[in-house]
Amino acid sequence: MTPPKKTAAPAIDGSVAILDVLSRSPWPLQLSEICERTELAQASAHRIINAMVEHHLVALAPGRRKTYVLGARLFELSSAVFARQPYVPHFYPIAEILKNEIHRSIFLSLPVGNQVVILARLDAPASQTFNAYVGRTLPMHLSASGKALLAARPLEEQLDYLRKEGLAAQDKADSLPELVHDLQRAARLGYAVSVNEIQDGVGCIAAPVRNGRGEPVAAISACFTGESLSVESARVYSKNVVQAARQLSSHIL
């Protein structure tokens, strides 16, 4: 797990670290286990957890002594955010058609800051398991959905993204030409491709969903596992993905 960034608010840093380890654990964790995984001092972790319990962000696991799980308020907040997205009700019937056309798992992703978040997923029958779950976030430049969204933005916004992500730094300059080429190609063709960036053996094709002002507000993607996604095969499948994105765009004001 990538260590969370440290800021000038240690209590917030600790809270995020605790939520991260609890969300990734398949079972409730004791305080000592949380401290071990977050590298927080026990006194600090105890103080933060007690405050989070009061706010229902963390809860004591029922039937187990002094073990902790994610709290109900997190689910309330995430459900409220999910319910306010206008794209989701229209996504599923469109994704069902796309899934049946290309026999691949289909995703809906949303830009949040400099990240792209998977908002909904529709799996094709017998699709192979891969690490792209609802709620997962990735930097925009590391996913087909993010590249499709970034490429659809004005050039100044793309440059601002590169600066904020530190990609324009001297030690990252070697990777810029490939990324710039990917964005230029995505802008020209109307879809973006990523291969082995979510995980090895996984390729994705994505197209932006636009609102009535032509602004990219979401992305539809299709993911391929256990096979090599070539330029030629991406071109064939992209027609269906782009059409699905256009259909969803027609429902967005």
Summarize the confidence of residues 72-94 as an average pLDDT: 86
The tens digit of pLDDT for each residue in 148-195 reads: 999 999 999 998 998 888 886 655 556 678 888 899 999 999 999 998
pLDDT at 172: 58
What is the rounded distance in angstroms from the CA atom of residue 158 to the CA atom of residue 181? 13
What is the rounded distance in angstroms from the CA atom of residue 210 to the CA atom of residue 10? 38
Tell me the three state secondary structure of residue 196: coil
What percent of the chain lies above the pLDDT cut of 70?
91
Q: How many CB atoms lie within 10 A of CB 74?
A: 17
pLDDT at 81: 79
pLDDT at 171: 58
pLDDT at 86: 81
What is the rounded distance in angstroms from the CA atom of residue 203 to the CA atom of residue 195? 4
Q: Is the pLDDT of residue 68 over 90?
A: yes
Q: Is the pLDDT of residue 39 over 50?
A: yes
pLDDT at 78: 83
Banded model confidence at residue 37, pLDDT cuts 50, 70, 90: very high
The tens digit of pLDDT for each residue in 137-146 reads: 888 998 999 9
Q: What is the mean pLDDT of the chain?
A: 88
Tokens of 74: 């997190």
The residue ranking higher by pLDDT, 189 or 87, is: 189
Summarize the confidence of residues 207-228 as an average pLDDT: 89
Q: Is residue 75 exposed (0-12), middle (13-18) or buried (19+ Cβ within 10 Å)?
A: exposed
pLDDT at 1: 46
pLDDT at 226: 61
What is the rounded distance in angstroms from the CA atom of residue 250 to the CA atom of residue 253? 8
pLDDT at 174: 62
Task: Give residues with Cβ within 8 angstroms of 163, minimum separation 6.
Answer: none
Domains and CATH numbers, the chain: 10-72 (1.10.10.10), 85-249 (3.30.450.40)
What percent of the chain lies above the pLDDT cut of 90?
59
Q: Is the pLDDT of residue 135 over 50?
A: yes
Banded model confidence at residue 66, pLDDT cuts 50, 70, 90: confident
Confirm whether pTM is higher than 0.85: no
